Amino acid sequence: MVLLQREVVEVLQVQAVLGIPRLRPAELVSGAPRLVARGRRPSGLALCLGSHGAIVARALGSAPASPCTGAFRPIPWNEASREPMPVATSTEIQQTPAPGEGPPPAEAGSDRMPPWIPRLLLLVVFTAFAAYAALLLVRRLRDVIFWLITALFLSFALEPAVNWLVKKRGWPRGAATGVVLFGLAAILLVTVAAMVPLVINQVQQLVTRVPSWLEEASVYTKRWFNIELTGSEILDRLRNADLAVSRIASSLASVGAFMLSLLFQVLTIGLFTFYLVADGPRVRRAVCSVLPPRRQREILDAWEIAIDKTGGFLYSRLLLAAISAFVAGIALSLLGVPFALPLALWMGLVSQFIPVVGTYIGAAVPLLVALLSDPWSALIFLIYVVVYQQIENYLLSPRITARTMQLHPAVAFFAALSGAAISGVLGAFMALPAAAVIQATVSSYLTRHEVVETELTMEPEPVVAPHTRSRRVRLIARFRRRGGSRED
């Protein structure tokens, strides 16, 4: 204890030199018994200095490893002058810890792999396996998935008619669905049945007229290109294609299997469509039962938009097809073109339900038939097609489809190409209502802002002569007055 008392006196002297508030001896010696019990002599500030220990240690450039444990580094002390020696700061020198006071030894297993790495590897492997299994399943079921998507769009298109029969006529939902599906199937069957004899007859006429056309072609090639080809030579060259024709004929045995497969697909799509329409409320209730209320409202809003847009597209196209077929039938009958009714039905349906290029495909067959009967009739019908197309584009179609679909022509063209690339003609047919549904759904969740008016966002007005401008203004004002009176 004599040594301990001397150390306390030394610490008090250090406090006096450094100007630190004096501490009570009880605070200075609170940690000394621990050091004595370890067999070491507490030197300098190697004592637990209580609450003021950190102040003294910081002033002398040494810091405790942990408060009140006595683990302070020894303070240099001049035994001769009984004064503390100058101590450098911790940034100037690196003090060596006393024996036995160094950092704890590293654990034996510190060089092992962290425990989260095996779990991460297992998660990556499981995710890759699940993705591969899902991709394989989609490939196996792609036909069924396509049939289900087609049936879903057909259910969207047919549900407005079914709802009208249920609400206005009081029909049972199942019976209304069956009647609507039967009517749609009847329209398709009548169209196909009307086109089959037409195709057979026109092919026969084409075969009988080929020799005369070849003779005329040889005359034109002699006159324009100085190439002598008689009709018999051309026929001899064409006969060399008998092998290819025989190969095609030999493959006709698979037509029956193809027709059976097509019939199975149509029946499957029709069955899916019937259940989706007849049990529409029950299906929507089952879907919403696993979602929270907020998500239920979003799903139902999207479903309603899909029904509105798809149904509107189908009924507007049917109305335009009926108008086009009626007018085309009158024109073909007046021109004396054979098979006027089937050709009119073909032109009306194809021109309206095949986007972008449907007009040209629908008009090609009547033009070919008219050309076989009378070239002048074909020319007159071509003029009719051009005039009617302008009337339909600028007068009929905007009024009928204004409330059903509002798609930019570029968007419609891109959607049609994408649908055709995915699933052919049927994909191109479903592309427009799908694009309209997506556009309407996205627009309902987007916020529209006012556009900054610059030269890039404003269309420049054309420069016209004064008298032309005044006449144009009068015509626009007259048109607006007529439109306003009609709306009133």
Q: Are residues 77 and 121 in the same domain?
A: no
Q: Taking residues 246-258, what's their average pLDDT? A: 60
Domain co-membership, 424 together with 341: yes
- Residue with more model confidence, 308 or 404: 308
pLDDT(148) > 80: yes
* Claim to verify: residue 121 and residue 80 sit in the same structural domain: no
Beta carbons of 60 and 84 less than 8 angstroms apart: yes
Domain housing 131: 117-151
Most confident of 82-96, 261-275, 341-355, 464-478: 261-275
50-59, 93-102, 310-319, 423-432: segment of lowest average pLDDT: 50-59
Task: Let me know whether 335 and 393 are in one domain.
Answer: yes
Q: How far apart are CA 257 and CA 189, in angstroms?
A: 20
Tell me the two tokens of residue 288. 């919403």
* 420 within a domain of the structure (yes/no): yes
Most confident of 30-34, 156-160, 459-463: 156-160
Q: Mapping DSSP to helix (H, G, I), strand (E, B) and coil, where does residue 83 land? A: strand
Within-domain flag for 53: yes
Q: Is residue 329 part of a domain?
A: yes
Q: What digits encode the pLDDT tens for the residues 447-457?
A: 777 877 777 77
Do residues 147 and 262 touch, judged by C-beta distance below 8 A?
no
Among 103, 125, 151, identify where a domain stops.
151
At 359 the pLDDT is 80
pLDDT of residue 32: 46
Looking at the fold, whether 136 and 57 belong to one and the same domain comes out as no
Residue 171 is classified by DSSP as: -
Lowest mean pLDDT among 47-51, 178-182, 271-275, 305-309: 47-51
Question: Worst-scoring range by mean pLDDT, 41-50, 162-171, 383-392?
Answer: 41-50
How many whole angstroms separate alpha carbon 290 and alpha carbon 293? 10
Decide if 320 is inside a domain.
yes
The whole-number pLDDT of residue 362 equals 86
Q: What is the mean pLDDT of residues 14-39?
A: 50
Decide which of 374 and 424 is more confident.
374
Residue 175 in tokens = 């019976």
Bigger pLDDT: 327 vs 259: 327
Do 338 and 435 fall into the same domain? yes
- pLDDT above 60: residue 70: no
Minimum mean pLDDT range among 448-452, 469-473, 481-485: 481-485
- pLDDT value at position 2? 45
The answer for 242, left when phi > 0, alpha when psi is -120 to 50, beta otherwise, is: alpha
Mean pLDDT score, 200-214: 69
Q: Is residue 403 part of a domain?
A: yes
Whether the CA torsion 431, 432, 437, 441 is positive or negative: it is positive
In this structure, are residues 77 and 13 in contact, taking their beta carbons and an 8 Å threshold? no
- Inter-residue contact 313 to 157 (CB < 8 Å): yes
Q: Is residue 428 part of a domain?
A: yes
Predicted confidence at residue 10, as pLDDT, reads: 58
**Six-digit token string for 193:** 């049945």
487 CB neighbour count, 10 Å cutoff = 6
Identify whether residues 321 and 413 lie together within a single domain. Answer: yes
- The predicted pLDDT at position 482 comes to 60
- Higher per-residue pLDDT: 250 or 191: 191
Q: Are residues 57 and 144 in the same domain?
A: no
pLDDT band at 402 (very low <50, low <70, confident <90, very high): low
**Owner of token pair 């009928």:** 400
Task: Please report whether residue 121 resides in a domain.
Answer: yes
Examine the pLDDT at 54 and tell me if it is beyond 50: no
Pairing label, strands 77-78, 83-84: antiparallel
112 lies in some domain:
no
Q: Are residues 13 and 133 in the same domain?
A: no
Q: What is the mean pLDDT of residues 112-122?
A: 84
User: Which residues touch 375 (CB under 8 Å, ≥6 apart)?
Assistant: none
The two structure tokens encoding residue 22: 């004096």
Residue-level pLDDT at 63: 42
**Crossing angle for the helix pair 142-168 and 116-140, nearest 10 degrees?**
70
**Mean confidence (pLDDT) of the chain:** 72
For residues 145 and 58, membership in a common domain is answered with no
* pLDDT of amino acid 472: 58
Supply the pLDDT for residue 150.
86
Q: Pick the more confident residue, 55 or 302.
A: 302
> Are 30 and 68 a contacting pair, CB within 8 Å?
yes
All residues at 6 or more sequence positions from 178 whose CB lies less than 8 Å from its CB, including other chains: 274
Overall number of domains in the chain: 3
